[in-house]
Structure 1
Amino acid sequence: MDNSLLSRFFGGKGADLPDIKLDPADLPPPPTPPETSKDTKNKPGDKWSNFDPTGLERAARAAKELDHSANAKEALELARMQESTKQVEFQGKVKEYEMNLEHLKMDQIKMQGEERRKTLSQDAKIKKEQAEYQDLLARRRYDDQLKQQSLMNEDNLRRQEQSVEKQESMRRATLEHEMKLRRDNEMARAEAEAIARAKADRANKDIRREEIKLEAAEKRETVLESIKTAGTVLGDGAKAFLGDWDKITTAAFGLTLVAAGVYTSKNAIGVAARYIEARLGKPSLVRDTSRFTVLEMFKHPIITTRRLLSHPEDALKGVVLRPTLEERVRDIAIATRNTKRNKGVYRNILLHGPPGTGKTLFSKKLAMHSGMDFAIMTGGDVAPMGREGVTATHKMFDWANSSRRGLLLFVDEADAFLRKRATEKISEDLRATLNAFLYRTGDQSNKFMMVLASNQPEQLDWAINDRIDEIVEFSLPGADERERLVRLYFDKYVLEPAMNTKQRLKLGDFDFSTKCSEIADKTEGMSGREISKLAVAWQAYGYASTDGTLTEEMIDERVSEAVAQHKLKMDWLKHHSGDPSVVGAPDTSDALSPKSTDYASTTLSKN
């Protein structure tokens, strides 16, 4: 028997078995297949009908041969070891199978837990929906009850009003009836009294006539006696006076002294009044001033004290400017303050630009920064004064020269009366006033500083331009300036009142910073005054709301309305001027883009 046969029998490799040599003659002959007959094929076989026993026979012969072999024990030991190895491998596979079963059980438990958790969450969701539905039904029932109660209240109120109206109509009818009866009674009584008086007068007519005649006669005799007595006394006095020359001289000297005293007092009072008016009073052309009059000191002592104790502040505090313009105006403010300290000669400035760009407020800040008094006059006030304009102009400059601290005279709308004298539109009175103004400003002064503001500087008279030392342009704000202005006025008119617990204003839940940036983009072409009015409109809308809350939708609505109104104003201005490039009228066809980004604005209040 060769090794391959043993390896097939023991399930191992032939190289591991002992070398057993068998003679082929010793092997049994191969089995012959059983003969099959037609009857056998046709009969149904049992389970052992197809069994071939030749394999068992060969195995038995091989076992006998192994028993007689010298290496039989080693072969059996090797077979036993192979069998134990197979058993160990089988046990490992059994363990692995058990572990797989455990893993399957654990996965099944996890799946069951997940299914249970999903079931619980679904039950909780269903319960939540049921609770929400029950709450919705309850709210609906409550709303229905409120509506029914409101309808009942309205019905009761309507019934009460009808009852009150009915009672009022009844009371009114009763009063009218009583008044009618009272009037009828009074008329009847008056008529009866008149008839009785007429009867008494007719009965006493003769007696009254005699009484009147006697009273007239007595009065005439009394007047005649008085005239006679007065004539006698005056005649005797005149004779005595004319007869005494010393009395005549004394009387003439006394009348002369009285006349001289009256004339001197009148002129002295006029001079004193003009002095007081020039030093202490406020001229008629001055609209507003920081100088104190005696009357204001007595009327507002607290405000006067605060002004006296106030310190100079930064000229650009609260002012939003382009960096280059900010540097320029700061230099002007520093130069003006140093000029005032050193008692030098002031320089005159022209501020020009569209309306609402902060020219007036910047002039006030400049005066306060320099420690000077300021006075504001409007060019439109000069023309209605007519011939009195010249006198008023001289009084104003006399008053300005009397200031001890120095005066900053701000002339708003200067082109209203300082326009070119060659035009035919200017009247003789206005031309005379302009000449007086030019005469008083011909030389630079160390008493007052002149600041002119105009929307159309090209209309100013050339002599006025000759008196200007510095020209500053205040234009519409750019994107960065608008955003700073929106934040400034949003803090002043919305955030600060909302943080004050005593006020009613509250803010909705939205991003303030992002909203301010959006508003700055939408308000292109608008001036600082328009942006400040927009912030005031937000505050008013918040106060007017039901609960005092200012929401983002309300802000957006007011911004849209303000942008539309600004565009309409610009269309009016361009239509009136006939030139899209007119000052203060940016081209609205190009998203209301301004021609410049210069801007000045301040939060200084009028107080």
Structure 2
Amino acid sequence: MCPKARLPHSSAGHAKEALSLAQMQEQTLQLEQQSKLKEYEAAVEQLKSEQIRVQAEERRKTLSEETRQHQARAQYQDKLARQRYDDQLRQQQLLNEENLRKQEESVQKQEAMRRGRAVRPGTPGHEARARARAERENADIIREQIRLRAAERRQTILESIRTAGTLFGEGFRGFVTDWDKVTATVAGLTLLAVGIYSAKNATLVAGRYIEARLGKPSLVRETSRISLLEALRHPLQVSRRLLSKPQDALEGVVLSPSLEARVRDIAIATRNTKKNHSLYRNVLMYGPPGTGKTLFAKKLALHSGMDYAIMTGGDVAPMGRDGVTAVHKVFDWASTSRRGLLLFVDEADAFLRKRATEKISEDLRATLNAFLHRTGQHSSKFMLVLASNQPEQFDWAINDRIDEMVSFELPQREERERLVRMYFDKYVLKPATEGKQRLKLAQFDYGKKCSEIARLTEGMSGREISQLAVAWQAMAYASEDGVLTEAMMDARVQDAIQQHRQKMQWVKAERARPEGSQPPLPSAQAE
């Protein structure tokens, strides 16, 4: 039993040795294959280098052969040119001799004709026939004389050109060798260049000064600043504006009590800053559109005794590379205001957005850098007021330049009632009571109606309420008798509410839509 039990163990040991031997043989074969493969790759690389060397040698030989052929061709062309010149000289000499011979023959013929006329002077028509025959015989001679004169003139011109070139070369050589003349000429040219450069720069500086003083920059859409041209065109209106008293900063502006108190403090501080010639603070006004940001900016400037200038951020991006120059012109123009300038930038997020995003172009990024450069420090010449509906898109450097942030929210019911009463009085009640316009007002409780409309117009902005009052006036003008009734006002209010709801639906759909996707088509277009 025991010997038979040991046999399998011995067979297993020999199998392992055979397997390890096979593995070693396989590894040896793989190493041999790898070495052969490396030798093959080295032979291929050597063959490639040999081919490169052969190709380089062939190119060098080809270039040498082309150079030799080019030299041989140039020598052959020079030889042909010399032969042509010698042939022309010989032909010219033969032509001159032929002309002289023909001239002598012509002189002899003319002499013979004169002798014939002297022998037979009385023959009728003899002189005319002799003259015609002489002209026919001398036609070739005349043509040769003309050709000879042309050749002589051409030769004279060539000699004159050669003589002028020789004189110019000698003069230039003499000028170069004379160091005093060279020094004087260089000094004169330098002074001339400096004069031209100075005149050009002086003209540019003068032009910029005049443009900054008289011209309004292209980015400024509206301004209260009086220019010299405007003063010459409308002297009476300009005089009234200069003599007008400062207005209340919140006149015609309806805000909530807390916001009204805050913006009144800003107006008082700005006015005192103007009086004391101190540094103005930069203000950011953000909130939904139509909440009174632009109106308050104008009132703030008039209340403080300053000029205002309104620009829109959407006008900067289409300017491309000219945007940087346009921004510098705006700030140069603002710095020349004697009264101080309130620079109001509406829709500022259109070009003051984050520079890290890929949506901003290189030109717009350069324009933003120019804007940041000009607003890096506070100024006693201008005050920067930004307005935006999406302040979160501002570049961080813009946020760093803001000293005061004011949020303009949608009017609540009390503010809406004040707005409805104010615009109803402005667009309906005053035109109806003045009697100069085709507008009348039916009998109903105006105060109750304004309160009811303020309740119904929840969520509307001050601009939408103003548009509603203008719509009431337009409905009265469109009626047959020009009378605005309560029913007409209610109908227009319902239309305005429906339009406001539609706008809000569009806004929600826009915010819910993924960035970069296209908006859905209307139902009529989809069908």
Normalising by structure 1, what TM-score?
0.53
Q: Residues 489-504 of structure 1 correspond to what in structure 2 (within 5 A)?
A: 489-504=423-438
Whole-Å Cα distance in 1 between the matches of residues 370 and 189 of structure 2? 43
Q: Residues 122-521 of structure 1 correspond to what in structure 2 (within 5 A)?
A: 265-521=199-455
Whole-Å Cα distance in 1 between the matches of residues 236 and 502 of structure 2? 45
Letter of the aligned partner of 1:434 in structure 2?
L
Tell me if the contact between 2:283 and 2:385 (Cα under 8 Å) persists in the aligned partners.
yes
User: Match for 2:494 among 557, 560, 569?
Assistant: 560
- Provide Cα deviations, 1:428-479, integer angstroms capped at 9, x if missing partner: 1111111111111111111111110000011101111011011100011100
Letter of the aligned partner of 1:473 in structure 2?
S
Tell me if the contact between 1:493 and 1:535 (Cα under 8 Å) persists in the aligned partners.
yes
Name the SS of the counterpart of 2:356 in structure 1.
coil
Letter of the aligned partner of 2:500 in structure 1?
H
- Provide Cα deviations, 1:144-175, integer angstroms capped at 9, x if missing partner: xxxxxxxxxxxxxxxxxxxxxxxxxxxxxxxx
Letter of the aligned partner of 2:359 in structure 1?
K
Tell me if the contact between 1:280 and 1:292 (Cα under 8 Å) persists in the aligned partners.
no
Letter of the aligned partner of 1:398 in structure 2?
D
Shifted more, 491-500 versus 304-313: the winner is: 304-313
> By how many angstroms is 1:261 displaced?
7.4
Whole-Å Cα distance in 2 between the matches of residues 326 and 346 of structure 1? 20
Q: Residues 104-119 of structure 1 correspond to what in structure 2 (within 5 A)?
A: none
Letter of the aligned partner of 1:378 in structure 2?
T
Which structure is larger by alpha-carbon Rg, 1 or 2?
Answer: 1
Letter of the aligned partner of 1:464 in structure 2?
I
> By how many angstroms is 1:484 displaced?
0.6
Whole-Å Cα distance in 2 between the matches of residues 341 and 325 of structure 1? 25
Shifted more, 432-441 versus 296-305: the winner is: 296-305
Letter of the aligned partner of 1:393 in structure 2?
V
Name the SS of the counterpart of 1:403 in structure 2.
coil
Name the SS of the counterpart of 1:271 in structure 2.
helix
> By how many angstroms is 1:295 displaced?
2.2
Whole-Å Cα distance in 1 between the matches of residues 401 and 385 of structure 2? 11
Whole-Å Cα distance in 1 between the matches of residues 297 and 486 of structure 2? 36
Percent identical pairs in the alignment equals 73
Q: Which residue of 1 aligns with 2:117?
A: none
Whole-Å Cα distance in 1 between the matches of residues 261 and 464 of structure 2? 25
Whole-Å Cα distance in 1 between the matches of residues 328 and 247 of structure 2? 32
Tell me if the contact between 2:214 and 2:229 (Cα under 8 Å) persists in the aligned partners.
no
Letter of the aligned partner of 1:430 in structure 2?
L
> By how many angstroms is 1:266 displaced?
4.4
Whole-Å Cα distance in 2 between the matches of residues 514 and 467 of structure 1? 47
Letter of the aligned partner of 1:334 in structure 2?
I
Letter of the aligned partner of 2:212 in structure 1?
A
- Provide Cα deviations, 1:12-40, integer angstroms capped at 9, x if missing partner: xxxxxxxxxxxxxxxxxxxxxxxxxxxxx
Letter of the aligned partner of 2:448 in structure 1?
T
User: Match for 1:578 among 506, 512, 519?
Assistant: 512
- Provide Cα deviations, 1:251-292, integer angstroms capped at 9, x if missing partner: x99999999877665443322111111222211111111112
Residue 578 to residue 404, structure 1, CA distance change in 2 (3 Å): same
Which structure shows the bigger proportion of residues in helix conformation?
A: 2
The answer on 1:532 being equivalent to 2:457 is no
Name the SS of the counterpart of 2:360 in structure 1.
coil
Tell me if the contact between 1:336 and 1:370 (Cα under 8 Å) persists in the aligned partners.
yes
Whole-Å Cα distance in 2 between the matches of residues 324 and 483 of structure 1? 17
Q: Which residue of 1 aligns with 2:142?
A: none
Name the SS of the counterpart of 1:420 in structure 2.
coil
Whole-Å Cα distance in 2 between the matches of residues 295 and 356 of structure 1? 33
Q: Which residue of 2 aligns with 1:218?
A: none
Tell me if the contact between 2:254 and 2:419 (Cα under 8 Å) persists in the aligned partners.
yes
5+ unaligned residues in a row in structure 1: which ranges? 1-234, 243-248, 580-607
Letter of the aligned partner of 2:454 in structure 1?
A
Whole-Å Cα distance in 2 between the matches of residues 513 and 410 of structure 1? 36
